[in-house]
Chain A
Amino acid sequence: GAVVSQHPSRVICKSGTSVKIECRSLDFQATTMFWYRQFPKQSLMLMATSNEGSKATYEQGVEKDKFLINHASLTLSTLTVTSAHPEDSSFYICSARGGGARTEAFFGQGTRLTVV
Chain B
Amino acid sequence: DQQVKQNSPSLSVQEGRISILNCDYTNSMFDYFLWYKKYPAEGPTFLISISSIKDKNEDGRFTVFLNKSAKHLSLHIVPSQPGDSAVYFCAASGGSQGNLIFGKGTKLSVKP
Binding site for B on A (CB under 8 A): 1, 4, 6, 32, 34, 36, 42-44, 46, 49, 57, 91, 93-95, 97, 100-110, 112
Contact = CB atoms under 8 A, between A and B. Distances in A.
A110 B42 contact: yes
Q: Give chain A's interface secondary structure class.
A: strand
Contacts of A1: 45-46
A104 B44 CA distance: 12
Given A32-B98, A34-B99, A49-B97, A104 B46 contact: yes
B101 interface: yes
B36 interface: yes
Contacts of A97: 98, 100
Contacts of B95: 101
B22 interface: no
Interface in B25-55: 31-32, 34, 36, 41-46, 49, 51
B72 interface: no
A48 to B, nearest CB: 10
Contact of B45 (A6, A91, A107): A107
A30 to B, nearest CB: 13
A106 B100 CA distance: 11
A101 B94 contact: yes
Contacts of B103: 43
